Structure 1
């Protein structure tokens, strides 16, 4: 559990399955080629630059968003990011409600990635 999660106090029900990682910890994790790495920004944002090996699944696509994740392994961790961390946290909550067991979110989004 990250220090931030500890400092924020009581955790909502979904947070056992969602962990927000700082940039360095996230980078170490996604350097493993065997991760489900997803950019939840729009295709236009994605074309403007993204993390290597990420797939683009636009959070704002509603049913298409859910369909895309139905093809993924719910027991394997999913690493999400967006521009600032807001959309990806919403997406993480959605994934947990869909049955995903562990979701990691990049704190501060791609704006913090260097």
Structure 2
């Protein structure tokens, strides 16, 4: 066993694991969401609504004012790069899977306030 002063490598590994675990919890805690059925619109001067479905899905219906930026496109990162990082982003997809993934990617790209609209367009459309 290798030791550093009074601290052995097992203790160091445990400490590193603990720090990583806490970091992951903190990152997860920063993720915000709200049910899409409670979404009452957005203020385009301070907020952006992004529909991350495919253009074909978007053409079948969308929430008024939404930008279509396809999560499955190779151009996703380039298309969101032009958006204002100071604005609050609302993100939705068909059911919630792609929007959750895109929320994490947007956070990684430096957007600070990203809200996943849980349930997706299917839930939104069914409440109408």
Q: TM-score, normalised by structure 2?
A: 0.72
Pair 1:13 & 2:27 matched? yes
More relative contact order in 1 or in 2 (CA 8 Å, sep 6+)?
Answer: 1
What is the deviation of 1:105? 1.0
Aligned to 1:26: 39
Distance in 1 (alpha carbons) for counterparts of 2:26 and 2:101? 13
Unaligned runs of 5+ in 2: 1-23
Distance in 1 (alpha carbons) for counterparts of 2:29 and 2:55? 28
Unaligned runs of 5+ in 1: 1-9
| Pair 1:19–1:61, CA change in 2 (3 A) | same
Larger Rg: 2
How many residue pairs get aligned? The number is: 101
Q: CA-to-partner distance for each residue in 1:54-113, whole Å, 9 max, x for gaps?
A: 010000012x10111110111211111000010000000000000000101111101111
